Amino acid sequence: MNENIQTSEVKLFSLDKGQKIFLFIIAVILWVLTLLSYLNPGFEYFMLQSFQSLANNPTMANLWYLYTKYALYVVSLPILALYFISYKVNFLKPYRLVIFLVLLISAVGSILVDPFLKDLVARPRPWIVYPEIGSLYHPSGLSFPSEHTFEVFALTLPFIICFLTDDGYFIRSKKKIFLALILLIFALTLSFSRLIVGVHYFSDILFSIGFSLFLLVILVSLLQWLLKSGKLNSQNEKWYGLLLVIILITYMLLVH
């Protein structure tokens, strides 16, 4: 079905078993690299110093500070608005369940990252362990894993996969491939900006990327089952979506 055709049926991009296994393998590789990095403090310190060299003058330092602190909100708030707009704008309707997936990953994963995983590992921020590290600002909370990294990949991964999908419902095009590349660059640069400003370790970043991939596979599988069984449809999806929005807003108010 062409995505320009109006439909009351909610659909998600196709992601078969082989593709899920591939994404899961990438997640496992990232977690292995996370462990190796975490167990090697000298390497973690070297990576901190190396990335911080990208902000070695006031202009670059200010740019990275503004980017790492505000870029996530510049993207996430419009995506939240797009979910509600998609009920009225025909062009956006085929992407409504993709945005729903973004909300689902963010709602489930954010709670698992902070406070659960952060409190479980209880890793201090880099400037506490290494006072000589010139962190550009001092956010509250613990270091592992990187919540910013998880959130930006939770926001972008569903769109990246959707834009690269060619399953008859979603049609891949050069424009969409370009958009997917832009989103990937945005996610990677924002993630590693956390190293540049000195508020996270390399292993914090790697784990969070792997965690976002892992949750994506799990939650896509859940949505596929709900759609196939009829438990998720065009009549009840908006109420589930509203619940996810409420959870996310409550989380931001209480945790942040």
pLDDT digits (tens, 9 = 90+) for 124-153: 999 999 988 888 888 888 999 999 999 999
**Is residue 230 predicted with pLDDT exceeding 90?**
no
Q: What is the number of structural domains in the chain?
A: 1
> Does residue 42 belong to any structural domain of this protein?
yes
Answer yes or no: is 8 within a domain.
no
Higher pLDDT, 83 or 21: 21
**Residue 60 resides in a domain:** yes
The pTM for the full model equals 0.91
E runs forming strands in 90-229: none
In a domain, 11, yes or no: no
Strands (DSSP E) found in 135-236: none
Instruction: Tell me what the mean pLDDT of segment 67-84 comes to.
Output: 89
pLDDT of residue 2: 43
Determine, yes or no, domain membership for 105.
yes
pLDDT at 9: 67
- Residue 122, burial from CB neighbour count under 10 angstroms (0-12, 13-18, 19+): exposed
Give me the percent of the chain exceeding a pLDDT of 70. 96
Q: Which amino acids are annotated catalytic?
A: 148, 200
The predicted model gives 47-58 an average pLDDT of 91
Q: What percent of the chain has pLDDT over 90?
A: 66
Range of the domain at 73: 17-255
Q: Is residue 169 part of a domain?
A: yes
Q: 191 in a domain, yes or no?
A: yes
**pLDDT computed for residue 93 by the predictor:** 87
Q: What is the residue whose two structure tokens read 């945790």?
A: 255
Helix runs in 165-236, H state only? 174-196, 202-229
